[in-house]
Amino acid sequence: MIWRQHRASLRNTATVAAFEEAFAEFVGARFAVSCVNGTATLHTALVALGVRPGDTVAVPCITMASTTIAVLHAGASPEFVDVNPETWLMQRTSSAYTIPVSLFGLCSPHRYSSHSIDDAAQTLRKHGASAFTSYSFQASKIISTGEGGMLVTDSLEMATKAREFGSLGYRMDAKQPRIDSATLKSPTFNRHHSLGWNYRMAPVVAAEGLKQLEKAEQLLAERKEAADLYGMAISGCSWMRPQGVPDGWKHDNWCFAVALESKELWPPFVESICRHGGERPYACWRVTYQEPAFRHLASDGTCPSAESLQPRLVQFQTNNIRSAEKNADAVRKAIKEIG
């Protein structure tokens, strides 16, 4: 077992390198750069791409706000793009820099540009044509280390820039997460060749990541099994529909989400689920520019599909099959009760 080779040395930086190498192989990328979390990966990727103050980056208006926060960390301005009413993913845009998100685990097969960062925080999708693909290992994610993130790329130049920015601006090697001790201890060693942030992953986090990665296919299968239970529970219901999955697309089932026919159905549906012994499901994040911290970023244009969709979305967790069985039964009873 890969992780067992490193569990006795959780302070050994070789564990981080081993996790990066194994993860890059799993998603089909040449290079992987680990970070402390998924917001750090996005910030790092933007800086590595050359995004600077004054630039604009297109982001979907329905997703976790971290996507927008990373753009602001880079000094750039977010351009909020509306979502497709069927798939709920960001519509295509001509913007130079974009961060498409695999919302709820839905993976689009579209090939993005060399200036795109594929935000795959809610999936374990394969790396595509984007400059970077960004993953999160936060507690709710498919591979969970409590916190953590990973950037992958096929470009040596991009990997090196990402490594250096996430390592306090040290001159770094793309495949080495730390500088060797002899070099570091030299009195003439110039550490900071540029400005950077301390986004480095801890070895203990990487050790857990290796352990999780070995059962990644099992974790994905369990998520699908849970999602299928919800799918059967809502089958035939005329006043809700699940996320659209076009032919040829893949869904990693980070959660199972449905759109209700009207926002007025949200309270009675959720309360009925709770009455029937189910866990209270999640609502969707607010449309980002409607959040108090980001209202000053809203442009004159709005995102009508997103604004209509967001208050009607219900998210069911898929990370525990036993809970999913119980919750799916409650959903079935709630649908029958509401009629």
User: Are 136 and 203 contained in the same domain?
Assistant: yes
DSSP state of 156: H
Same domain, residue pair 54 and 79 = yes
d(CA 161, CA 50): 10
Residue that finishes a domain, picked among 213, 247, 265: 213
Q: Do 246 and 163 have their domain in common? A: no
Identify whether residues 124 and 221 lie together within a single domain.
Answer: no
- Is the same domain home to 155 and 302? no
Query: What pLDDT sits at residue 332?
Result: 98
Q: How far apart are CA 325 and CA 227, in angstroms?
A: 10
Domains of the chain: total? 2
Both 182 and 238 in a single domain?
no
Query: Considering 213, 245, 266, which residue would you say is the last residue of a domain?
Result: 213
DSSP letter for 300, please. Answer: S
Choose among 280, 296, 282, 291: nearest CA to 334: 280
pLDDT of residue 29: 97
Is the separation of the CB atoms in 32 and 156 below 8 Å?
no
Q: Where are the beta strands (DSSP E) in the chain?
A: 31-35, 56-60, 77-81, 97-98, 106-107, 117-119, 132-136, 149-153, 240-242, 250-251, 255-260, 282-283, 313-317
Q: Which residue segment(s) compose the domain that 300 sits in?
A: 216-338
> Average pLDDT of each block of 10 consecutive residues along the chain (339 residues)?
50 85 97 97 98 95 96 96 97 92 93 87 94 97 96 97 94 77 80 90 94 97 98 97 96 98 98 98 96 87 92 97 97 96
One domain for residues 127 and 226: no
Give the Å distances, CA to CA, from 223 to 13, 105, 166, 228, 265: 31, 10, 32, 9, 26
**Residue where a domain terminates, one of 159, 191, 213:** 213
Q: Are residues 166 and 312 in the same domain?
A: no
242 burial (CB, 10 Å; 0-12 / 13-18 / 19+) is middle
CATH number at residue 47: 3.40.640.10
pTM for this one? 0.93
- Residue 78's closest CA among 89, 86, 69? 69
One domain, residues 240 and 205: no
Write down the pLDDT at residue 1. Answer: 53
Do 58 and 163 lie in one domain? The reply is: yes
> Which token pair is 322?
């036993």
Pairing of strands 56-60, 97-98: parallel
**Residues 75 and 209 reside in one and the same domain:** yes
Query: Same structural domain for residues 309 and 179?
Result: no
pLDDT of 175 reads 77
CATH code for the domain in which residue 279 is found: 3.90.1150.10
